[in-house]
Structure 1
Amino acid sequence: MTRRQNWWRRGLAAGAVLALAGCAAIEDATTPEPADGKPSASASGSASTGAGGGGGTAADGTLPGIPTAGQAKEQLAGLEVARHGSMSGYSRAKFPHWSSQGESCDTRETVLERDGTDVERDAQCRAVSGKWTSVYDDKPFTEARDLDIDHMVPLANAWRSGARTWTQDKRKEFANDLTRPQLLAVSASSNRSKGDQGPDEWQPPSKAYWCTYSRAWVSVKASYELSVTEAEKDMLTEMLDTCAS
């Protein structure tokens, strides 16, 4: 009798474990992705332990292809000034992301590793630990799920300033560009506050980042021959003027 009871109890325990695993799998499969394709901000918010391990400096210093202030001013002067084009036909699906970058990694995970410090990944290349500082608002994080990968020049802004005439392959390149200062890891809240707004409509809350932000924005627009509006150009000029001489 005792042996039967022990077997029965072990069966119940195993069944409970399987049930919990099944529930978790169902939840993962049925939880809808946000409409913008970005991970939802964690309800727990940011972790505030430590000083971010230099994450802000990493995100600033590792942005690829960023010009000097002088170079950015020259590039800005050469950009076409035009009103925003139509949003007709726009869809984020026309800018496929995130692309595979090899070794089970995609563009998002590649940027998280680049912009963080002490980043460790699991077998699927997901960042399971690390330290990041969101350069837009100077907030420290230790959970990758609290971060979004921002497109410096938002996809919708690019569409209105020239990308609507591109091929799908070129839009995919733009949305996953790791060779120019187009992608960076920032707080989900700052990224979603920015949305698809240009510099004349939204600026990083941290004014100390205005110089880098404007240099990166101008570089991307120049590289892809995208236009700027008059108001956008005026604000970029103001932001570039914050750069140390």
Structure 2
Amino acid sequence: MPHAHRTSPRRYARRPRPAPAAALATAVSGLLVALTLGASPAAAQPPTPPSAQEAATMLSGLTERAEGSMDGYSRSKFPHWTDQGNNCNTREAVLKRDGEGVETGSDCYPTKGTWTSPYDGQKWTKPSDVDIDHVVPLAEAWRSGAAKWTQDKRKELANNLKIAQLLAVTDNVNQEKGDQDPAKWMPPSSGYHCTYARMWIWVKHTYDLTADADEKTALKKALGTC
């Protein structure tokens, strides 16, 4: 039986050792790549409102005027929960954005998730326990100038995800708020008053809505807590 031919050991060329600076750069680069590839995307949040200083400037620029009447008002004049793409309406888009671990069906309705209401700090696991609040209520907008708008502009306000006008909150807290302005209602969590005021002012500034004297006073007080 012939002997098997023994091959000589395979030799590999030794990779030159990089200079210390180059080695450090390579290590840092590798670490950054690893962190980037392994990082989870940040949880979505409502758009960040202007700083307290910016909000104070916006507040001073709001036209001060007594609220108008409710004559002719109807929520139907503010078409809401419109299509936001990906088979989601506005309500479903906010539930996905503001929740943690949200899973949805093919119709975009959440089947799983946890929602923490910024107004009172309560956590909920059923979408039915969560309302989507218009920070500046639609009726308040009507009394502050929206009565004179076109329906398309009112529709934009009711579904605007680009500013902090829509939040997922505890349903009964939202119902307690109703259409009241900050002179009559503020979130139960006092630590949220600063953010709430900045959001409210941002919406009113963006849409050139008016504010009455008591409302301005309450907002200025809330900004003082920032």
Aligning the two structures, in what range does the TM-score lie when normalised by the shorter sequence?
Answer: 0.7 to 0.9
Q: Which has the larger radius of gyration?
A: 2
For normalisation by structure 1, the TM-score amounts to: 0.74
- Which residue of structure 2 lines up, in the alignment, with residue 193 of structure 1? 176
Q: Specify the SS of the correspondent of 1:131.
A: strand
Whole-angstrom CA distance in 1 between matches of 2:186 and 2:151: 29
Q: Specify the SS of the correspondent of 1:120.
A: strand
Displacement of 1:195: 0.2
Displacement of 1:194: 0.2
Displacement of 1:65: 4.8
Whole-angstrom CA distance in 2 between matches of 1:100 and 1:225: 25
Q: Once the two structures are superposed, what CA deviation does each residue of 1:187-235 show, in whole Å capped at 9, x if it has no partner?
A: 0011000000000000100001001000000000000000000000000
CA contact (8 A) 1:65 1:179 kept: no
Q: Which amino acid aligns with 2:206?
A: S
Residue of 51, 55, 59 corresponding to 1:76 = 59
- Which residue of structure 1 lines up, in the alignment, with residue 123 of structure 2? 140
Q: Which amino acid aligns with 1:110?
A: A
After superposition, the CA RMSD in angstroms is 1.0
Task: Give percent identity, aligned residues only.
Answer: 53
Q: Once the two structures are superposed, what CA deviation does each residue of 1:82-137 show, in whole Å capped at 9, x if it has no partner?
A: 00001100000000011001121000000011111100000100011111111101
Alpha-carbon spacing, 1:120–1:185, altered in 2? closer, same or farther (3 Å): same
- Which residue of structure 1 lines up, in the alignment, with residue 92 of structure 2? 109
- Which residue of structure 1 lines up, in the alignment, with residue 158 of structure 2? 175
For normalisation by structure 2, the TM-score amounts to: 0.80
Residue of 114, 118, 139 corresponding to 1:131 = 114
Residue of 211, 215, 224 corresponding to 1:232 = 215
1:30-69 matches, within 5 Å, as 62-69=45-52
Q: Once the two structures are superposed, what CA deviation does each residue of 1:142-181 show, in whole Å capped at 9, x if it has no partner?
A: 1111000000000000000000000000000000000000
Deviates more, 1:63-72 or 1:78-87: 63-72
User: Which structure 1 residue ranges, 5 or more long, are not aligned?
Assistant: 1-57
Q: Specify the SS of the correspondent of 2:58.
A: helix
Whole-angstrom CA distance in 2 between matches of 1:194 and 1:233: 18
Whole-angstrom CA distance in 1 between matches of 2:201 and 2:45: 17
Whole-angstrom CA distance in 2 between matches of 1:208 and 1:143: 25
Show structure 1 runs of 4+ deviating over 3 A.
none
Q: Which amino acid aligns with 1:205?
A: P
Q: Which amino acid aligns with 1:100?
A: D
- Which residue of structure 1 lines up, in the alignment, with residue 133 of structure 2? 150
Alpha-carbon spacing, 1:173–1:79, altered in 2? closer, same or farther (3 Å): same
Higher helix share: 1
- Which residue of structure 2 lines up, in the alignment, with residue 46 of structure 1? none
- Which residue of structure 2 lines up, in the alignment, with residue 202 of structure 1? 185
Aligned length: 184
- Which residue of structure 2 lines up, in the alignment, with residue 49 of structure 1? none
Q: Specify the SS of the correspondent of 2:210.
A: coil
Residue of 131, 151, 159 corresponding to 2:142 = 159
